[in-house]
Structure formats: structure tokens, C-alpha cells
């Protein structure tokens, strides 16, 4: 059942993920099903749910997903040996490692084995560097999804004041880099705030677009946003039996022009965006021209966008 936060526009993720998935289904027929390997290295329940949701999504769009599960006391040597096999196997197009990893395993170590061209999470230093240089190859799925969601809803990014709350390497920081790119879908003036920022509200209150990637339930209140702002909430915070975002959506309704709900907002778009990276990975590995029929996918990843 949909909750309506009148008079605010509710920017749902489903139409955006469906849009991406439709393109990927077509690509499965055109270029063949790509294969993703997901490493699940702990007994964490939510990571297992996320990993299995990828298998389901893969079945839906026509991609193959292999799950490699390990107990939390797996040795780094065993993990790295299997990663090395997948890294060199031409039948594997993308590799991702579910987080959090058990204590004692630093994500940077296994990630060093994942070749940049199979890095569907956009975390390889080469891909990170390409993004910083203004020539993105694989954009981390959460920032990519946030961008695609805004483009789908016709949000004016160019010239806007954007405040990103949260500076993590996989979400807030690449997002700030992405939206300030000198390309048609970028050109925002971006401020990145974090836990050491003195007065977060002073920044968010002047923003046309606020994007939260924090992990603090309902931290963004109505008195922290300006009239007519657009709020993209990437936070996922357990509450009771469900989840809530970083934005207090009831409190901002009536003040903001539009906001993504949680659940039902950015989450599904992130998963589809990871698959978008997988298809792009296959095209790059097989020397195919990277092109998409869909206008927004083409603008970001095709001939018209970064490669």
C-alpha cells in the first residue's frame, strides 16, 4: 500500500528500476547473459538477504548470478585464491563482495584482486580515479542509482546547490564527485557535509537538492530544508520490523517539493544500477560498443556520456 505525503511529490524507485531492468532484459537477448559472482563472507542476515535478492533480480532480467558463501572464519588465503580464479575466468563478467566483512578482513585487500573491468561496485582505484578525472567507467551503484532517479524524475541538477550528507567512499564521496562533473547531467555546485560539520542545517537549508547517505533514522527534519527542495534519501535504518530513511518524511512533507520514500525509494534503483554495471562490464570485456537505447542510461554511460 502506498502512503501519500500530500502535497509533496513522492519519488518512488520502482519506475526507475523497471526502466533500467527493461533495458537490461533487451541487452540479455542482444549480447547474452552476463555472469556475476557475489561473495558472501559472513553470517550477517541482511547481507544474505541482499545477496539472494541479486539472484532473484538476475533471474528476472536474464543475468546469471553465482553466490559464493563462506563462514566468517574463512582464511583470507582461501578467499583470495577463489577471487583470483574468478578474476581470470572469461566467463565471469562481474565480481562483488557483500559488506560488512568479518572483523579482521579489510575490504581493500580482497578488492585488490578484482580486476578493474569486473569491478561492478566502482570501488577499484582505477575506476575511482576515472570518476575523479571526469571519465567515469563504473560508478558505484548507489550514487549511480541516485543520479538515474533524479534524471528519471526530471530533477534539474545543472546549476543547482546540492548538499550531500555523508562522505563514505562508496556513497557520499563518489556522489559529490559525480554531480559536480562538467557534463550535461552534472554541473551542480556540491557541498559535502559529515559528522564533523559544525551546523548541518545551515548548509541543507540553502540547498535545492539534499541527498542523505548517513545511516541515522529521520535525522533530516523539515526545519533543515528550504521550501521546494528535493530530497533524495539513501539511508536505510532498521526500525521495528521495517526500515526508515535518514529523512523524516512526515516532517518534510509540505516543505519539500519532493522526496524519495523509505522503503520504496532508492534501494531498488541501487540493485538495478549494479546490474547495469555488470552489462557494461560484459560489453567492455568483449570489445562491444557501449550503447543503450534508453535516453538517460545512454546519457550517463553510452556514447553521449562517460565510458
Interface with ligand NAP by CB under 6 A: which residues?
142, 165-168, 170-172, 194-196, 200, 213-216, 234-237, 266-267, 270
- State which residue, 243 or 253, has the beta carbon closest to ligand NAP: 243
Q: Which is nearer to ligand NAP, 207 or 214 (CB)?
A: 214
CB of 270 to ligand NAP, least distance (A): 3
Residue 104 CB-density burial (10 A; 0-12 exposed, 13-18 middle, 19+ buried) = exposed
Measured from the CB atom, the residue of 42 and 302 that comes closer to ligand NAP is 42
The residue (of 92 and 272) whose beta carbon lies closer to ligand NAP is 272
Rounded to a whole number of angstroms, the minimum distance from the CB of residue 14 to ligand NAP is 14
Residue with smaller CB distance to ligand NAP, 140 or 283: 140
Among residues 167 and 282, whose Cβ is nearest to ligand NAP? Answer: 167
The pair phi, psi for residue 162, each rounded to 5°, is -115, 130
CB 266 to ligand NAP: min, Å: 4
Nearer to ligand NAP, 92 or 232 (CB): 232
Look at strands 9-10 and 35-40 and give their pairing.
unpaired
Minimum distance from residue 17 beta carbon to ligand NAP (Å):
11
How much is the CA Rg of the chain, to the nearest whole Å?
Answer: 19
Minimum Å gap between C-beta 293 and ligand NAP is 25
Instruction: Please report where in the chains the cell 550535461 appears, as a residue.
Output: 184
Nearest-approach distance from CB 223 to ligand NAP, in angstroms: 15
Residue closer to ligand NAP by CB (options 147, 234) is: 234
Least separation in angstroms between CB 144 and ligand NAP: 10
* Least distance in angstroms from the C-beta of 281 to ligand NAP: 19
Q: Which three cell numbers stand for residue 276?
A: 547495469
**Cell matching residue 138:** 563504473
Amino acid at each position: 500500500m502506498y502512503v501519500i505525503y500530500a502535497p509533496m511529490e513522492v519519488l518512488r524507485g520502482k519506475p526507475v528500476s523497471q526502466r533500467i531492468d527493461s533495458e537490461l532484459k533487451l541487452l540479455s537477448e542482444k549480447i547474452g547473459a552476463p555472469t556475476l559472482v557475489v561473495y558472501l563472507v559472513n553470517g550477517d542476515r541482511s547481507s544474505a538477504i541482499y545477496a539472494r535478492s541479486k539472484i532473484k533480480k538476475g533471474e528476472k532480467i536474464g543475468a546469471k548470478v553465482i553466490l559464493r558463501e563462506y563462514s566468517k572464519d574463512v582464511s583470507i588465503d582461501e578467499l583470495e585464491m577463489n577471487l583470483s580464479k574468478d578474476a581470470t575466468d572469461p566467463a565471469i563478467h562481474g565480481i562483488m563482495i557483500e559488506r560488512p566483512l568479518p572483523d579482521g578482513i579489510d575490504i581493500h585487500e580482497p578488492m585488490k584482486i578484482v580486476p578493474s573491468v569486473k569491478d561492478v561496485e566502482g570501488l577499484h582505484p582505477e575506476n575511482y580515479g576515472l570518476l575523479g578525472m571526469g571519465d567515469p567507467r563504473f560508478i558505484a551503484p548507489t550514487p549511480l542509482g541516485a543520479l538515474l532517479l533524479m534524471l528519471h524524475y526530471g530533477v534539474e541538477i545543472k546549476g543547482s546547490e546540492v548538499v550531500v550528507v555523508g562522505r563514505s567512499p562508496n556513497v557520499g564521496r563518489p556522489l559529490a564527485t559525480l554531480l559536480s562533473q562538467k557534463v550535461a547531467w552534472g554541473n551542480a555546485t556540491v557541498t559535502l557535509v559529515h559528522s564533523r560539520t559544525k551546523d548541518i542545517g545551515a548548509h541543507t537549508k540553502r540547498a535545492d537538492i539534499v541527498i542523505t547517505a548517513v545511516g541515522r533514522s529521520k535525522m533530516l527534519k523539515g526545519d533543515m530544508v528550504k521550501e521546494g527542495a528535493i530530497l533524495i534519501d539513501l539511508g536505510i535504518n532498521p526500525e521495528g520490523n521495517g526500515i526508515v530513511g535518514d529523512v523524516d518524511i512526515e516532517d518534510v512533507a509540505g516543505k519539500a517539493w519532493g522526496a524519495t520514500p523509505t522503503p520504496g525509494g532508492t534501494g531498488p534503483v541501487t540493485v538495478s544500477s549494479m546490474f547495469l554495471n555488470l552489462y557494461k562490464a560484459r560489453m567492455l570485456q568483449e570489445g562491444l560498443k557501449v550503447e543503450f537505447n534508453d535516453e538517460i542510461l545512454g546519457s550517463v554511460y553510452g556514447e553521449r556520456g562517460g565510458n
